[in-house]
A = this chain, B = another copy of it.
């Protein structure tokens, strides 16, 4: 057994059975091992940012890491932005990055680079394997690092001679460690604050946004009168009819500040103290009321769900008391396409158990309220703020959940970043319906230019914020990658196309002219 084979066996032993990949010469032995060993689903991506974004989406929905296979430092570089997003989402990923044979690195050939240096800013764990016999053990260590609650990016660098060398040994994969529990006195302090403090608020993040912990938070709200909010951008928010609804903190600072203004006693579970996404001149970075007491009950890497249970118990909160969201759908919209009619179309038609991947940026700011009463669904957002995650994340989510409909809400500016995702969706026959909102601009930046006090754009600045000249034809681009596509320019047409898309097995894209 060579090192590459020992790694494939180790990954499978660690229940890592999907690999999003774009291999090169240095990874050929790993690729060859896939033919010899059954059990690994390999998904080819035509750009490494697709692989890393798909691994993030997969991890969020599967609750376990996928692996990626990347070609030396530059291949890792191409994956970097979506690994940043995955790091911020605390999604578990095991990167396998090929490297030159150890003895070849000294010759500084074209692809030689500081792979560890490239990996470190986005990885919680980085290691370069030194010999074939160590590959399996290093792989097991990578899996353990990725599984550290609630999830981490681990990067294993695999020199070619450790992959092709004999003497590979399958690594012993340890069970995933339980997340750290929060001390009873910390729970008691939070309980006191929510019960006794003025104007209490509970902010949830990370794994506290699943159905069960949300329901517990709803029980706590009934017992204490506290409000409950989710962070601004969330890894996986379970919502819809019959679930406890946690509104999210909005992106625009003025709106967020105004929403948070009433609260003075803030308890954080898996969430950080609310801060503006960006700094703006003369505007504070922290957006809660300056007099608010901020108490971190559980960090994201602690046992958020268990902590909420303990908090409910400490409060004597009646379980099942939460006021759950009633079922309701907006009427099917008619008329022109606007952010409101798009929101209504989604609210009217979103299928039960859908996975919504939301990178709709400005177009989508009204999507959450109007879909609150839709059938139960998962809502995934970009935690790292680096645009381009939507199409890859939808790809990975669909690989993880072949029996669920994935609805990808994507903007034209963001969609262009990892547009190659569409090809992978076509090759794998993934059940993704993408609504592509074409406002032909980086619309958010027009607002940001004003927000930072830079004034109204003149012609040169405006050119940097617009995607027209030429308009992008998303129907042609999607079709060019094998994905069925159509364009709509009325709410009626959008609804009909969305229904057709959802009924279709396999990927499809609707260009929505905003």
Q: Residue A259 at the B interface, CB < 8 A?
A: no
What residues of B have a CB within 8 angstroms of the CB of A75 in the complex?
81, 386
**Complex Cα–Cα for A132 and B402 (A):** 52
**Are A233's CB and B110's CB within 8 A?**
yes
- Shortest A424–chain B CB gap in Å is 10
A428 smallest CB distance to B (angstroms): 10
Closest to A88 in B: B110
Q: How far is the CB of A2 from chain B (nearest CB, A)?
A: 9
B110, A277: Cβ atoms under 8 Å?
yes
CB distance from A312 to the nearest CB of B (A): 29
Do A452 and B46 touch (CB < 8 A)? Answer: no
* Chain B residue with the shortest CB-CB distance to A381: B110
Q: Is the CB of B277 within 8 A of A459?
A: no
Interface residue? A417 (CB, 8 A) = yes
What B residues does A275 contact at CB under 8 A?
104, 107, 109
Residue of B nearest to A106 (CB): B285
The reply to whether A474 and B480 form a contact with Cβ atoms under 8 Å apart is yes
The chain B residue with its CB closest to the CB of A462 is: B35
Residues of B within 8 A of A23 (CB): 445, 464
Q: Does A302 contact B (CB under 8 A)?
A: no
Asked whether, in the complex, the Cβ of B25 is within 8 Å of the Cβ of A448, the reply is: yes
Q: Identify A452's interface contact among B28, B34, B40, B73, CB under 8 A.
A: B28
Using known A-B contacts A107-B273, A480-B477, determine if residue A463 contacts B29 with beta carbons closer than 8 Å.
no
For chain A, the count of residues having a C-beta within 8 Å of the partner chain is 105
Residue of B nearest to A475 (CB): B480
What separation, in Å, do the CA atoms of A445 and B413 have in the docked complex?
33
B84 touches A458 (CB 8 A): no
Query: A residues 427-481 with Cβ under 8 Å of B?
Result: 427, 444-445, 448-449, 451-455, 457-461, 463-465, 467, 469-477, 479-481
Whether A419 sits at the interface, judged by CB under 8 Å, is yes
A120 interface contact, C-beta 8 A: yes
A420 within 8 A of B: yes
Contact code string A266-294 (vs B, CB < 8 Å = 1, else 0)? 00000011011111010001100000000
Complex contacts, A467 vs chain B, CB 8 Å: 46
> Whole-angstrom distance between the alpha carbons of A35 and B108 in the complex?
43
A197 within 8 A of B: no
B contact residues around A285 at 8 Å (CB): 101, 103-104, 107
User: Does A26 lie at the interface of the complex (its beta carbon under 8 Å from any beta carbon of B)?
Assistant: yes
Instruction: Assess whether B44 is in contact with A464, with CB atoms less than 8 Å apart.
Output: yes
B278 touching A160 by the CB < 8 A rule?
yes
A180 at the binding interface (Cβ < 8 Å): no
| Residue of B whose beta carbon sits closest to that of A384 | B110
A452 touching B25 in the complex, CB below 8 Å, given contacts A73-B84, A75-B386, A84-B77? yes
Please, which residues of chain B bring their CB within 8 A of the CB of A384? 74, 110-111
Pairwise interchain contact A457-B31, C-beta atoms closer than 8 A: yes
Cβ of A244 < 8 Å from any Cβ of B?
A: no
Residue A353 CB within 8 A of the other chain: no
**Residue in B closest to A413 when the chains form the complex, CB atoms:** B46
| A273 to B, closest residue via Cβ | B107
> Contacts A75-B81, A104-B278: A28 and B454 contacting too (C-beta < 8 A)?
yes
15 further A-B pairs in the complex, CB-CB below 8 A; given A108-B272, A111-B384: A32-B454, A44-B463, A47-B417, A49-B78, A74-B85, A78-B78, A110-B382, A113-B122, A161-B279, A416-B423, A473-B480, A473-B481, A473-B482, A476-B476, A476-B477
Which A residues lie at the B interface, using CB under 8 A? Answer: 21, 23-26, 28-29, 31-32, 34-36, 40, 42, 44, 46-47, 49, 72-75, 77-78, 80-81, 83-85, 88, 100-101, 103-104, 107-111, 113-114, 117-118, 120-122, 160-161, 164, 233, 272-273, 275-279, 281, 285-286, 382-386, 388, 413, 416-417, 419-420, 423, 426-427, 444-445, 448-449, 451-455, 457-461, 463-465, 467, 469-477, 479-482
List 21 A–B pairs whose Cβ atoms lie within 8 Å, in order of A's numbering.
A24-B448, A28-B445, A28-B452, A29-B452, A31-B449, A35-B457, A35-B460, A42-B464, A47-B416, A49-B78, A78-B386, A100-B279, A101-B279, A101-B285, A109-B276, A110-B382, A111-B278, A160-B278, A470-B482, A473-B480, A474-B480
